[in-house]
Amino acid sequence: MSVVANTGILGQYDTTSTKSTTKSKATMDQDAYLKLLVAQLEHQDPLNPMDDKDMTSQLSQFSSLEQLTNINTGIKSLVSSQSSSNMLNAVSFIGKGVKANGYNLSKSGDTTSTVYYSLGESVSNMQVNIYASDGTLVRTDALGPSQAGEFQYNWDGKDTNGTKLADGTYGVAIVAEDTSGAPVLVQSKISGEVSGLLTQNGTTMLQLKDGRTIELSSVTEIVAPSTSTTTTTQ
């Protein structure tokens, strides 16, 4: 007696658990390869046994597979060890202030985080743009011309109209032009106090006290925790 599946009824039920038990391996591991080779030897034709060259070739393939498996295992172990080492090294950052390459700042009450930037050459015009989390431009500060050097910018937490904005994380972009009007790259650095550690997709991240996260590799300097409520500074 044949049984015909009623697809209309089956469609009403979740078949995920059934599918998960019938998945086949996409690649052959060492154990499967060895079993296949043994089965091939057991069921070969006695009157026409496997040629020595074929046997040697298959054993060579098995040896290559074993070496690749060992290399893959070693790489995974090395990555895991490196990740653990990074986490242990990053523990020393907790409670300390850091500077790191980045493009955001935080606001909490009357306190805002400081943004640092450097100019490798003189510029004829420069401005700082502050963006809300949805990408809306909320504040533009014209800084005018500047000589080369190290500077910092302290936002007062207000929009262009002088209205205090809500607490949270905001984006910051510093744009400048040289004396010929050509754009100049300005690398900004953010600051904050480290309160914890976490790992995201294998990358060690520092959790800042204000909720922001930065990559450990982006840290450029350890500094005293610094926040400000003053206006633009150059």
Digit-coded pLDDT (tens) for 8-24: 433 443 444 444 444 44
The pLDDT value recorded for residue 97 is 87
22 secondary structure, DSSP code:
S
Contacts of 29 (CB under 8 A, 6+ apart): 69
Q: Quick one: which H or E segment has residue 45?
A: none
The pLDDT value recorded for residue 228 is 43
| Domain spans of the chain, in order of start | 93-228
- Helical segments of the chain, H only: 7-10, 16-20, 30-42, 52-90
Counting every residue written for the chain, the total comes to 234
The pLDDT value recorded for residue 162 is 93
The pLDDT value recorded for residue 18 is 43
The pLDDT value recorded for residue 232 is 41
User: DSSP of 95-128, one letter per residue?
Assistant: TSEEEEE-SEEEEETTEEE-EEEEESS-BSEEEE
Q: What is the mean pLDDT of each run of 10 residues along the chain (234 residues)?
A: 42 43 50 70 62 60 67 63 61 84 90 90 92 94 92 93 94 91 87 85 84 86 58 43
**CA nearest neighbour of 116 among 210, 167, 192:** 192
**CA nearest neighbour of 227 among 105, 69, 132:** 105
Q: Quickly name the fold that domain 93-228 has.
A: Immunoglobulin-like (2.60.40)
Please state, in angstroms and rounded to a whole number, the distance separating the CA atoms of residues 122 and 212: 32
Q: At 117, which amino acid appears?
A: Y
Q: At 192, which amino acid appears?
A: G
The pLDDT value recorded for residue 47 is 57
| CB-CB contact of 129 with 172 (8 Å) | yes
- pTM value is 0.56
